[in-house]
Amino acid sequence: MIAPHGGKLVNRIATDEERKSILSKSKEMKKIKVSYWTLSEVENIATGLFSPLEGFMNKADYDSVLDDMRLSNGIVWTIPIVLSISKEEADDLKIGEDILITDENGKEYAVLNLEDKYERRKHEEAKKIYKTDEDAHPGVKFLYEQKDIALGGKIKLLNRIEHEDFKEYRLDPVDTRKLFEEKGWKTIVAFQTRNPIHRAHEYLQKTALEIVDGLFVNPLIGKTKKGDIPADVRMKSYEVILKKYYPKNRVALGVFPVNMRYAGPREAVFHAICRKNYGCTHFIVGRDHAGVGNYYGTYEAQEIFDNFKPEEIGIVALKFEHAFYCKICGNMATSKTCPHDAKDHVFLSGTKVREMLSNGQLPPPEFTRPEVAEILMSFYQSARKDKNIDVQEI
């Protein structure tokens, strides 16, 4: 099986003895309260999903990621993983001490051994990670809302987040690796999505399945921007389409508990590395992966992989053109396989699909499977009745 990024699957989950020992000293330890967003980052570090990271980045790694898309030791890494607090909070903390990380209600989730504290270069970070410093970009807006001082150091997870949803699909890297081994899969392609699967997605997935043993559909369920389809609605669509249109012995479904950055090219590499840690050997990178608005070129998320030697990333990026249904060909295709004019292609914009669904009209089967369309229409119809939901924002 493919080795984790950096060669070793990180495990920063405290043993029972470690947990008891740490909590016995908790009254004397300083504490910092963090949001659910940060707690999920803590958990992803601890389970090895962010291998080779063992904690939040120190300044040397942070600077190197911003400037060179690598950790300070040279390993490819493209997204800062940082813990931010206010200057006032940071002034009270000393290098070398253990700090308890709690949720906003004070429940202990992890301990951080403080190795470093430094100021985030927010505007520079925005330009290098998101290629813009405009706060109209959701990732940049979120960055600017974060506190200014970053803490670096290894963590130990004391308690898991008590997730109430998608429990059967919450698989740590150690679980997916075991699952793939039990299925006898040696080559596995991962598919990242934050949208319901439509026919173009299905075409990419099944094309990739022709060259690998198994498909890991891995939808992102972390924090997304306003207007994205809710995770529970998306999960229903995945369940129904995998049950009815995919061979059971060649597909697995598991959620990707990572917060969306909308960092386009850099996030595509980050997503690939995480799937490598799950045990996947291939990763589908389509049109405008992790993009938003017009901030990135159509295939820029594919082109970024050319900056690295294949062995530096390890997982193979499968680069696909934008897929569509061609009325003349009578099937799904891309510009690589279809010679016909765009007027013969079925491609519906998100705005058009939203309009059709909210008006009770199903998108055509050339665009999405009827079972998925029914799930989406039910959601949109309910949303229209809820005065707190603006269907134009969905």
Domain end (from 157, 185, 217):
157
Last residue within a domain, chosen from 126, 157, 188: 157
Q: Identify whether residues 306 and 286 lie together within a single domain.
A: yes
195 is catalytic: yes
Can you give the residue range of the structural domain that contains 128? Answer: 16-157
Give yes or no: residues 306 and 327 share one domain: yes
Domain assignment present for 11: no
Indicate which residue of 194, 266, 275, 369 is catalytic: 194
CA–CA separation, 199 vs 183, rounded Å?
A: 26
**Is the same domain home to 87 and 228?**
no
The answer on 142 and 204 residing in a single domain is no
| Count of the separate structural domains present in the chain | 2
Tally of residues, the chain: 394
In tens, the pLDDT along 41-77 reads 999 999 999 999 999 999 999 999 999 999 999 999 9
Q: Are residues 222 and 361 in the same domain?
A: yes
Residues 66 and 109 in one domain: yes
- Asked if residue 242 and residue 330 are part of one domain, the reply reads yes
- 194 has catalytic annotation: yes
The string of pLDDT tens digits covering residues 124-172 is 999 999 999 999 999 999 999 999 999 999 999 999 999 888 999 999 9
pLDDT > 80? residue 353:
no
pTM greater than the 0.95 cutoff: no
| Per-residue model confidence as pLDDT tens digits over 373-393 | 999 888 887 777 664 444 444
Domain shared by 56 and 203, yes or no: no
How high is the mean pLDDT of the chain? 92
The answer to whether residues 181 and 323 belong to one domain is: yes
Catalytic residue among 160, 195, 259, 384: 195
pLDDT band at 112 (very low <50, low <70, confident <90, very high): very high
Q: Say yes or no: 43 and 95 in one domain.
A: yes
Tell me the CB-side half-sphere exposure of residue 310, using CA atoms within 13 A.
6
- Checking 305-314 for CB contacts under 8 A at 24+ apart, the result is 305/268, 305/269, 305/272, 307/69, 308/76, 308/269, 312/76, 313/76, 313/269, 313/272, 313/273, 313/276, 314/2, 314/3, 314/5, 314/276
242 and 261 in a common domain? yes
CATH value at residue 80: 3.10.400.10
Q: What are 178-201's pLDDT values in tens digits?
A: 999 999 999 999 999 878 888 989
